[in-house]
A = this chain, B = another copy of it.
Amino acid sequence: MADNHSLDQLVQALRCLPGVGVKSAQRMAFHLLQHDHEGAQRLARALQHATEQVRHCALCHTFTEGEICATCQDPRRDASLLCVVETPADQAAMERTGAYKGLYFVLMGKLSPLDGVGPREIGLQKLFDRIDAPDAVIREVILATNFTAEGETTAHVIAQGLKTRGVQVTRLARGVPVGSELEYVDLGTIAHALVDRR
């Protein structure tokens, strides 16, 4: 394949995907070129479009195509409740329970000093500023980071930062199995943990 720069470049480019090594990338490239040109071109357009269109909501940090996401704009949401989650997938899991009507703050990550992810990288100051804002009506912050070691540490650090800010700080009840990640937990468990938050 020495003369095949397009193929080599595709194999290299596929390795930007998390969990994809050189063998997987070769298999993916082979599959796309041999069996799914249409899927490959759709993926190319989706990548281009998403990297151009998707940004972070100015209020909650989740992915959105506008300045403010639809959830933050929704007047029916209870603005006195703020739920802090790690990722948009976790937020989506919360939403699917139908048990939560407040707003969100999406960290887009978790504290992980070994990976160079500190308070700045997950936007903690923006979270605190939002709670401190003169027009803020937040009464309660629900910490819904994952029940992993890093998620617990993140929740702990946020709780410390909120101590002096006059808001109630709660954590999803431990109905969520320890060591698991929210997006893989069944809806009933999440809903129950939400009711039992402490």
Report which A residues bind B (CB closer than 8 A): 1-7, 9-10, 12-14, 16-19, 23-24, 26-34, 36-37, 39-51, 53-54, 62-66, 69-70, 87-89, 91-92, 108-109, 183-184
Give the residues in chain B near A3, CB-CB below 8 Å.
64-66, 69-70
CA distance A4 to B49 in the complex (A): 12
**Also in contact, A88 and B16, with CB within 8 A (given A41-B48, A47-B43, A51-B33):** no
Give the residues in chain B near A40, CB-CB below 8 Å.
16, 47, 50-51
B30 touches A70 (CB 8 A): no
- Within the complex, the shortest CB–CB distance from A21 to chain B, in Å, comes to 12
